């Protein structure tokens, strides 16, 4: 949510930003906010004047009565009564305008960083840099589910019976590998100075509305029927929500956190849920990184965060690249974002395994996350990034570590979490 002062001083800047995001249908909202804000301030000023006048006149009544000036006191009482009758109307209009302004401001996108490339959708995202050499083995790389099934590591049929499409059973060494990757990711981030958290897996609507746009919420979040609770789509939701209505001293910043959680998503939209596969699913697990910092530090933290993901994947010998998200591919709250994509030897192309985002002060404004500075309080900046999100990451891992006989190499960093194993072998029939 933008600062209302920006609507008062630079409405054309907001409109230009909306155009850059190809959301022209939202342009009229800017003028509506400007007009409503003008009326709101005039109404509030009048209400404040009435309150002050009522307080002053109420004090005068006692003095007049004490002097025996009953007639004059009655006239003042009549004026106080008139003000009393007008006040509820003014206060109701004030509250109505405030709500209508907020409703519009909640759907107007954040101002994007000048470095963001302009484009309509993800097809116009821009490659930034590649890390590691993409490799295609001489033998054919099977589909990831076929690799897992050969290793006795996945059961999709049973999951369809219990839960439907978009769910899975992992088992044996594949399930252990899944857990090993998350454990390694946890320790990797702790070693980089981040504090480890396991957050609540459900959050209230006030937090949901604070951390994401309405369209994202509708397409992602599962609502708990009969309760003001939603299942989280990522631990970022809980972790940013942790700071709701707080004032953090500058001396305690930055807050650098890494959190584990299961994630639950409807995955409504163009892509849909896969019938056979674990790339786009309703349930998965993830290690996340979150930073709350001073505004002047958010750009440098953004670079540090995506670099953490790149470094993590490179320690497992998985080639990756970073892709700058264009204006039309940015969610409304984001100032800047990039995807980390891993190499797929089977598809001979990269695919998304994580996303790094700088949200500026958008979440902080919605949730009241403030910093206590020497010259007063101000809004923090928030950032988030995926460390790793298996089982999607398993696709890249399995394809890049597959041997011709169907076995899987275990890189050195994961072996301590796999009981010392250096290979997942194909079970004997």
| 111 in any annotated domain | no
Residues 38 and 151 placed together within one structural domain of the fold? no
Catalytic one of 309, 337, 344, 355: 355
* Band (271; pLDDT cuts 50, 70, 90): low
Q: Are 113 and 359 in contact (CB under 8 A)?
A: no
| 158 included as an active-site residue | no
Residues 408 and 316 placed together within one structural domain of the fold? yes
Contacts of 357 (CB under 8 A, 6+ apart): 331, 334, 336, 337, 383, 384, 385
Alpha-carbon distance 123 to 58, whole Å? Answer: 67
Alpha-carbon distance 356 to 139, whole Å? Answer: 34
Domain boundary among 105, 130, 154: 105
Residues 220 and 90 placed together within one structural domain of the fold? no
| 225 included as an active-site residue | no
Catalytic one of 54, 176, 265, 346: 265
Residues 81 and 131 placed together within one structural domain of the fold? no
Catalytic one of 321, 357, 392, 399: 392
More confident residue, 323 or 56: 323
The angle at the Cα of 34, spanning 31 to 37, to the nearest 5 degrees, equals 145
Q: Find the CATH number of the domain harbouring 85.
A: 1.10.287.40
The pLDDT, as a whole number, for residue 52 is 85
Contacts of 236 (CB under 8 A, 6+ apart): 211, 259, 288, 290, 384
Residues 359 and 259 placed together within one structural domain of the fold? yes
Catalytic one of 41, 280, 409, 415: 280
Q: Are 60 and 76 in contact (CB under 8 A)?
A: yes
Residues 135 and 91 placed together within one structural domain of the fold? no
Q: Is the pLDDT of residue 270 over 60?
A: no
Q: Pairing state of beta strands 349-358 and 381-388?
A: antiparallel
Residues 101 and 172 placed together within one structural domain of the fold? no
| 116 in any annotated domain | no
Number of domains in the chain: 2
Residues 86 and 183 placed together within one structural domain of the fold? no
Catalytic one of 160, 216, 352, 409: 352
| 352 included as an active-site residue | yes
| 149 included as an active-site residue | no
Digit-coded pLDDT (tens) for 246-267: 999 999 999 999 999 999 998 7
Digit-coded pLDDT (tens) for 307-327: 999 999 999 999 999 999 999
152: domain range?
A: 122-424
Domain boundary among 76, 105, 134: 105
3-state secondary structure of 318: coil
The angle at the Cα of 359, spanning 20 to 340, to the nearest 5 degrees, equals 85
Average pLDDT over residues 86-91: 89
With b meaning 16 or more CB within 10 Å and e meaning fewer, what string describes 88-99? eebeebbeebee
The pLDDT, as a whole number, for residue 269 is 58
Work out the mean pLDDT of the chain and round it to a whole number: 93
| 115 in any annotated domain | no
With b meaning 16 or more CB within 10 Å and e meaning fewer, what string describes 47-62? beebeeebeeeeebbe
Start-to-end Cα distance in the chain? 59
| 296 included as an active-site residue | no
């Amino acid at each position: 949510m933008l600062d209302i002062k920006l609507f008062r001083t630079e409405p054309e800047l907001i409109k230009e930003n909306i155009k850059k995001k190809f959301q022209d249908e939202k342009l009229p909202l800017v003028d509506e906010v400007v007009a409503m804000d003008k009326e709101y301030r005039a109404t509030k000023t009048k209400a404040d004047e009435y309150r002050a006048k009522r307080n002053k006149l109420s004090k005068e009544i006692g003095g007049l009565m004490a002097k025996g000036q009953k007639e004059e006191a009655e006239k003042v009482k009549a004026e106080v009564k008139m003000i009393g009758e007008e006040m509820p109307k003014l206060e109701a209009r004030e509250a109505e305008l405030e709500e209508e302004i907020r409703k519009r401001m909640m759907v107007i996108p954040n101002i994007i960083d000048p470095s963001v490339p302009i484009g309509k959708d993800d097809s116009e995202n821009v490659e930034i840099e590649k890390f590691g050499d993409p490799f295609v083995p001489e033998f054919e790389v099977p589909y990831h589910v076929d690799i897992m099934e050969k290793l006795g590591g996945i059961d999709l049929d049973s999951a369809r019976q219990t839960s439907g499409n978009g769910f899975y059973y992992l088992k044996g060494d594949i399930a252990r590998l899944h857990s090993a990757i998350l454990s390694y990711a946890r320790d990797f981030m702790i070693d980089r100075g981040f504090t480890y958290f396991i957050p609540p897996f459900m959050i209230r609507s006030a937090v949901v509305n604070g951390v994401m746009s309405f369209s994202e919420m509708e397409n992602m979040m599962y609502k708990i029927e009969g309760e003001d609770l939603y299942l989280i789509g990522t631990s970022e939701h809980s972790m940013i929500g942790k700071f709701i209505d707080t004032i953090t001293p500058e001396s305690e910043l930055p807050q650098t956190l890494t959190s584990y959680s299961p994630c639950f998503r409807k995955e409504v939209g163009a892509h849909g849920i896969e019938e056979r596969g674990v790339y786009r699913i309703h349930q998965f697990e993830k290690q996340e990184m979150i930073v709350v910092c001073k505004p002047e530090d958010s750009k440098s933290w953004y670079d540090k965060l995506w670099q953490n993901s790149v470094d993590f994947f490179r320690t497992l010998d998985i080639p990756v690249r970073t892709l700058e998200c264009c204006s039309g591919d940015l969610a409304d709250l984001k100032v800047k974002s990039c995807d980390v994509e891993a190499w797929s030897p089977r598809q001979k192309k990269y695919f998304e395994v994580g996303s790094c985002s700088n949200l500026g002060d958008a979440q902080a404004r919605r949730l009241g996350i403030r910093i206590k500075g020497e010259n007063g309080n101000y809004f923090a900046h928030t950032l988030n990034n995926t460390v790793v999100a298996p089982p999607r990451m398993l696709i890249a891992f399995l394809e890049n570590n597959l041997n011709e006989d169907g076995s899987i190499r275990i890189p050195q960093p994961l072996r301590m979490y796999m009981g010392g194993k250096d290979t997942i072998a194909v079970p004997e029939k």
